[in-house]
Amino acid sequence: MAKAKAVFICQSCGANSPKWIGKCPSCNEWNTYVEEIVTPQPKEVSRTSTKNSQPQLLEQVELSEQNRLVTPDNELNRVLGGGIVPGSLVLIGGEPGIGKSTLMLQLALSLSGKKILYVSGEESEQQIRMRAGRVDMQNASCYVLTETTLQLIFKHLENIEPDILIIDSIQTLYSTLIESAPGSVSQIRGCAGELLRYAKEENVPVFLIGHITKDGVIAGPKVLEHMVDTVLQFEGDRHHVYRLLRSSKNRFGSTSELGIYEMHGNGLKEVTDPGEILISQRNAELSGIAIACNLEGMRTMLIETQALVSSAVYGTPQRSATGFDIRRLNMLLAVLEKRCGFRLGAKDVF
């Protein structure tokens, strides 16, 4: 076995250095270097390839575009660009507790007739069963496995041969060929690389759940985002009912698509008419409300803006905005003042 050595790896971008540095020269983040044990290029891999790829004439390559697996979840289909592409590696990022596991479990349970393997390193089989009971869906061919060692997962994959593999989460995976701790850059990169090979060779779509840090980036390296085919972000406030699913990278579709869900006690429900939740629908004659139509990917959304202008009590008028760029607000007010003759200099604008 090759001699292991310690290197310091940036947990944000994956750059490495022989000694500790305070500021990463590659991504300019502070205090991101962590010591990891790296065995230089392990010769062995966790699973042996079942087929050798051969050069093929481009004309003879079969088109698999029409083989997309369309799920019952229309929001997910749209964000993925029209369904699940065979052999694709999809990363789903989001804050802990936002509902990523629920979204994936619902996907696993909604595809009846497909063999799904849901591998969890975070919850026991009983906990997953309880959650499945809450969402009240059944799929007779959905397998669950509590395992974090990549090599053992590959053994089970050989026996089960699933149509779809779900990993919850990539941060808990551990490869025995890599000496770093689970969740470290080397582990995440190594495990994702082997799963990528599995997805491409067996033509099985693989979903990876990834936790994000407080800054909103997927924990672990940015190299992970470069490796996968699609990066989906699951966003929202955990105290509110609505969740947004958007793609920040998609090799098989547009990245401007948006999926909206509503979180209920019994799981996530699709929001088919976003106008209902984005428009307050109170008094139509009330002043200060403007509704505009906005194009998000393939569908239109109605967006409501509410404004309040009142006389300023203090010398300096207040300018305050929620969900709107304050500099843009100031510019619009300046245009109204200069070109339209509105006297806004002594008004508070909310």
Contact residues: Zn ion, CB under 5 A: 10, 12-13, 15, 24, 26-27
- 14: buried, middle or exposed (CB in 10 Å: 19+, 13-18, 0-12)? buried
Cα–Cα distance, 221 to 10 (Å, whole number): 8
**Phi, psi dihedrals of residue 201, rounded to the nearest 5°:** -75, -40
CB of 13 to Zn ion, least distance (A): 3
Question: Which of 10/38 has CB closer to Zn ion?
Answer: 10
CB 78 within 8 A of CB 259: yes
- Could you tell me the sign of the dihedral formed by the alpha carbons of 238, 240, 242, 246, in that order? negative
CB of 12 to Zn ion, least distance (A): 4
Residue 30 CA to chain centroid, in angstroms? Answer: 24
Question: Which of 8/350 has CB closer to Zn ion?
Answer: 8
CB of 333 to Zn ion, least distance (A): 40
As a dihedral over the C-alpha atoms of residue 91, residue 94, residue 98, residue 102, rounded to 10 degrees, the angle is 0
CB of 34 to Zn ion, least distance (A): 11
CB 180 within 8 A of CB 11: no
Question: Which of 190/220 has CB closer to Zn ion?
Answer: 220
Q: Which two tokens stand for residue 239?
A: 């105290």
CB of 217 to Zn ion, least distance (A): 11
Longest dimension (CA), the chain: 79
Q: Which two tokens stand for residue 77?
A: 């289909």
Question: Which of 110/186 has CB closer to Zn ion?
Answer: 186
Question: Which of 14/274 has CB closer to Zn ion?
Answer: 14
Question: Which of 27/332 has CB closer to Zn ion?
Answer: 27
CB of 224 to Zn ion, least distance (A): 13
